[in-house]
Amino acid sequence: MPYDFDALIVGAGFSGLYQLHSLRDQLGMKVRVLEAGAGVGGTWYWNRYPGARCDSESHSYNYFFSKDLIKNWEWSERYPGQAEVLRYLNYVADTLSLRDDIQLNTRVVGAAFDDELCGWRVTTQDGQELTSQFLISAVGCLSSANIPSIPGLDDFRGQYYHTGTWPHEGVNFAGKRVGQIGTGSTGIQCVPVIAAEADHLTLFQRTANFSIPAHNGPMDPDLREDVKKNPDFYKELVRSTTNGHPFRIAPRKVSDVDEQEQTEIYEKAWAKGGLRFRAAFEDLLSNQEANDTAADFIKAKIKEIVKDPETAKKLADIDHPFATKRPPIDTHYFESFNRDNVSLVDVRARPITHIDETGIATTDGHHEVDIIVFATGFDAMTGSLLRMNITGSHGLSLAEAWSEGPKTYLGLQVAGFPNMFTLTGPGSPSVLCNMPVAIEQHVEWVTQCISFMKDNDLGRIEPEAHQCEEWAKEVNKAADATLLPKAKHSWYLGANVPGKPRMFMPYAGGFAHYASICDQIAQENYKGFSFSRRP
């Protein structure tokens, strides 16, 4: 074999673990996973911030490919917390004996396709060079932490942390004044937990956000047993829905019901909580008027919960339609503003000017803090791929190829980058989905594709360039059929990272529909991909 490995996989989260298992144990390939962290788990290894919890329901947030894995695992809560998901992924790594083929503490800093070798030369931070026929990126969509470049941060004499690279030993907030920047899903989870511990929490809000109560609690034992007894039913359910979640969107439009019934439906959905709220009507994400009814309902709830009218007004002053940014779910987020030790600063109205030795300055004053928490998100979907300095055929860098935004075929491959697969890459449903469902579909598709290549003695695969152009149009068309592009400051568009090209990145046409397109292409002998034998 001219290569060190048949396949190198970057990342040991949900996607890397399953991809290793599939290629090694189903296709008998020699595979190594390279993982920057000191343990497996990906997102769940890094994101240890206070309150970190999954917003998919536990019984759908696991692999479905193995009934044994389902039977022998017990989720304890409706939504799994970070530590529990991490334990789950360690359980998978042990049960499937994956650890021997995972190289931890190994960050990939370069990957170049060598045409003569017909494979990849991958360089690690500690100077190792490894070759492989296939390079599979399993780096996740939200792993490249984004700390905004606010002048003066280096002068700050306290501590600061980004939620996505949280210290393993935790942070002691007792007796501290904390400044938190960011009100996305992460920030909304942090607030109640930090507020309960800290002396004072000042939240710097640039964009007010919708949030639905999670109503987390112990896992329903009947549901847990039912999933173990009927795993195929749940697998089929999550794979047949728009977002890979274990519930169906109600087949009714807002206009099908009168105002009173509408309110009753929203009240019920609010009481049930979680992402299911979005499924109350089928046109919430496609019809502005329908969306307004949900938005108005949530804004009224915010004003009902938050006692101080000024604070409530700032929290409810939301500039985008409901669910056009990733919709957070929370545990007592809005209630936290009724505490005496929590204050809200509107930095849209009065922007942060700089950070100095003792705190955060805005245009209307200075806020003394001991700790700054950056819940400021990620260079999403492309950041971690670009950070690997990938160079394709004929020396083309991925950064050059994507200078106007990421173009892929199905989110799985990039023209000019042969034998590279991008699991949950830009152009696939990924972040609009319950991730493990999107991941399983991608891993299985890639495994079948490589199996097809082996069976047909093919050594090289890449998409035809025009297919990537066409798919980019499809991705745009799918987004334009929804209200999603109306959130102008969204990371779905790359808008949260200065200088990043604006392009709607995830495929919004629905998971089940996307999967059927991928299957169809595979059945047509991978139409749109070009293959060749190894030279």
Q: Which of 193, 188, 153 is nearest to 170 (CA)?
A: 193
Binding residues for ligand NA7, rule CB under 6 A, total 22
Q: Which of residues 86-145 bind ligand NA7 (CB under 6 A)?
A: 142
Determine, following the binding rule CB under 6 A, whether residue 182 of this chain makes contact with ligand NA7. Answer: yes
Q: Which is nearer to ligand NA7, 119 or 179 (CB)?
A: 179
Among 491, 492, 507, 511, binds ligand NA7 (CB under 6 A): 491
Rounded to whole angstroms, what are the CA distances from 173 to 40, 45, 103, 201, 204? 28, 21, 34, 10, 17
What minimum distance in Å lies between the beta carbon of 204 and ligand NA7?
A: 6
Q: Which is nearer to ligand NA7, 373 or 410 (CB)?
A: 373
Determine, following the binding rule CB under 6 A, whether residue 326 of this chain makes contact with ligand NA7. Answer: yes
Cβ contact 203:180 at 8 Å = yes
Q: Which two tokens stand for residue 95?
A: 């049960």
C-alpha span between 360 and 238 (Å, rounded): 44
DSSP lists the bridge partners of residue 112 as 121, 391
Q: Which is nearer to ligand NA7, 431 or 475 (CB)?
A: 431
Among 19, 132, 143, 186, binds ligand NA7 (CB under 6 A): 186
Determine, following the binding rule CB under 6 A, whether residue 148 of this chain makes contact with ligand NA7. Answer: yes
Q: Which of 368, 350, 351 is nearest to 359 (CA)?
A: 368
Cβ contact 215:273 at 8 Å = yes
**Which three-class secondary structure string do you get for 107-126?**
CEEEEEEECCCCEEEEEECC
Among 13, 41, 184, 426, binds ligand NA7 (CB under 6 A): 184
C-alpha span between 506 and 498 (Å, rounded): 19
DSSP lists the bridge partners of residue 366 as 361
Among 58, 62, 376, 419, binds ligand NA7 (CB under 6 A): 376
Determine, following the binding rule CB under 6 A, whether residue 316 of this chain makes contact with ligand NA7. Answer: no
| Sheet of 352-356, strands arranged across | 352-356, 359-362, 365-368
What minimum distance in Å lies between the beta carbon of 430 and ligand NA7?
A: 10
Among 347, 355, 461, 479, binds ligand NA7 (CB under 6 A): 347
Among 58, 90, 106, 185, binds ligand NA7 (CB under 6 A): 185
Which residue stretches of 37-159 are H helix? 43-46, 67-71, 82-95
Determine, following the binding rule CB under 6 A, whether residue 375 of this chain makes contact with ligand NA7. Answer: yes
Determine, following the binding rule CB under 6 A, whether residue 360 of this chain makes contact with ligand NA7. Answer: no
Q: Which two tokens stand for residue 131?
A: 């070759």
Determine, following the binding rule CB under 6 A, whether residue 331 of this chain makes contact with ligand NA7. Answer: no
Q: Which is nearer to ligand NA7, 130 or 181 (CB)?
A: 181
What minimum distance in Å lies between the beta carbon of 265 and ligand NA7?
A: 25
Cβ contact 487:321 at 8 Å = yes
**Is residue 10 packed enough to be buried (19+ CB in 10 Å), middle (13-18) or exposed (0-12)?**
buried
Determine, following the binding rule CB under 6 A, whether residue 187 of this chain makes contact with ligand NA7. Answer: yes
Cβ contact 102:12 at 8 Å = yes
Residues 424-453 as x/- pattern, contact with ligand NA7 by CB under 6 A: -------x----------------------
Which positions lie near ligand NA7, rule CB under 6 A?
142, 148, 181-187, 204, 206-207, 326, 347, 352, 375-377, 431, 489, 491, 496
